[in-house]
Amino acid sequence: MIPSKEITDQIEQTVRTAGCLIEDVIGVTDMKNKEGHFNFVTKYDSKVQSFLIDHFRRILPEAEYWCEEDGYTDEPSFDGYTFIIDPIDGTTNFICGFMFSAISVALAYRKEIVYGIVYNPFRKEAFIGKKGEGATLNGEPIHVVDRPLSAGVSHFGCSPYKAKYREVSLQRQQAIAMASMDLRQMGSAALGISYVACNRCVSYASVHLYVWDYAAGQIILEEAGGKLTDMEGEELQLSAEASVLGGTEISHKECVDIMKQYPLPAEE
């Protein structure tokens, strides 16, 4: 079920307002390390998430929540609407004052993503995708230009949560860098995927993300005419963890071929 314009407008306004909670914060020293490799959380992550949930409950009282922080990490039942929230995607950037972080919110209906917004409050940029209605950046339509890796900059995430994948990730990164105009590693999956949707990047890849990292970006990129799959090029399932690969029709195929040359180590 596609949400009404009234509902999605309220979601967008809520996310933009939540951005005011962090837009003036430059660098953070008070943080904790969660489970995983340099997986940080700050008081602002919890503050933004609490604000979003409080307001979303007024918009869609029946909705469930699947979020990065504060007891919402278990997979929901997906009986109806589910909000999938990363309150600050790119927390390490936020801690270090890089100003390349985003609030990422996807809305799923029975395991199908029907709406997504990725909002960077530091640039006042809102990427939005709605099922069957296309994608926009601050209200202007965006469409993927089909082009090869050699015609653009690639964005590669280097296994942020599991150190054991770093070596293979770096090998893949080098191969994609050699095939691309240049390479960027900017530290936010949601923004990286959205940058492919608006043609700032020609591809995006990252090993072992969580669903709240990529769910909103997925519908934005797909509604812009791009592709987001797993590393083998297969359709993504709405599951807790995934390694993802995004691009244009041409660049995506090139990336899949590169990934096959550098298989990940087996799970223990």
pLDDT of res. 168: 86
> Per mean pLDDT, which range of 61-70, 177-186, 222-231 is the poorest?
61-70
pLDDT of res. 38: 47
CATH level 2 (architecture), domain 149-261: 3-Layer(aba) Sandwich (3.40)
CA distance 25 to 145: 35
CA distance 189 to 206: 8
CA 191 from centre of chain: 6
pLDDT tier for residue 37 given thresholds of 50, 70 and 90: very low
pLDDT mean across residues, the chain: 91
47-85, pLDDT tens digit by residue?
999 999 999 999 999 999 999 877 788 888 999 999 999
CB 260 within 8 A of CB 230: no
76-127, pLDDT tens digit by residue?
899 999 999 999 999 889 888 888 999 999 999 999 999 999 999 999 999 9
pLDDT of res. 161: 63
What's the number of CA atoms in the CB half-sphere (13 Å) around residue 143? 4
Contacts 24+ apart (CB under 8 A), 21-27: 21/47, 21/48, 21/51, 22/48, 22/88, 22/94, 22/101, 22/121, 23/121, 23/122, 25/94, 26/97, 26/99, 27/95, 27/96, 27/97
pLDDT of res. 176: 96
- Asked if residue 157 has pLDDT above 90, the reply is no
Locate the DSSP E strands across 211-240: 227-230
Cβ neighbourhood burial of 235 (10 Å; 0-12, 13-18, 19+): exposed
pLDDT tier for residue 31 given thresholds of 50, 70 and 90: very low
Percent of the chain with pLDDT over 90: 74
Cβ neighbourhood burial of 209 (10 Å; 0-12, 13-18, 19+): buried
pLDDT of res. 35: 54
128-156, pLDDT tens digit by residue?
999 999 999 999 999 999 999 999 999 99
CA distance 215 to 139: 20
SS3 state of residue 14: helix
- Asked if residue 1 has pLDDT above 60, the reply is yes
**Domain segments of the chain: what residues?**
5-142, 149-261
pLDDT of res. 268: 47
What lies within 8 Å, CB to CB, of 180 at 6+ separation is: 149, 150, 152, 153, 154, 202, 203
- What is the 8-class DSSP label of residue 102? E
Q: What angle (nearest 5°) sits at the alpha carbon of residue 156, between those of residues 155 and 159?
A: 155
CB 183 within 8 A of CB 192: no
Percent of the chain with pLDDT over 70: 92
CB 204 within 8 A of CB 180: no
Q: Is the dihedral of CA 143, 148, 153, 156 positive or negative?
A: positive
Q: Does 33 or 229 have the greater pLDDT score?
A: 229
Please give the model's pTM, rounded to 2 decimal places: 0.93
C-alpha closest to that of 185 among 202, 161, 168, 205: 205
pLDDT of res. 97: 86
**From the candidate CATH numbers 3.30.70.330, 3.40.50.150, 3.30.540.10, 1.10.10.10, the one assigned to the domain spanning 5-142:** 3.30.540.10
CA distance 193 to 200: 10
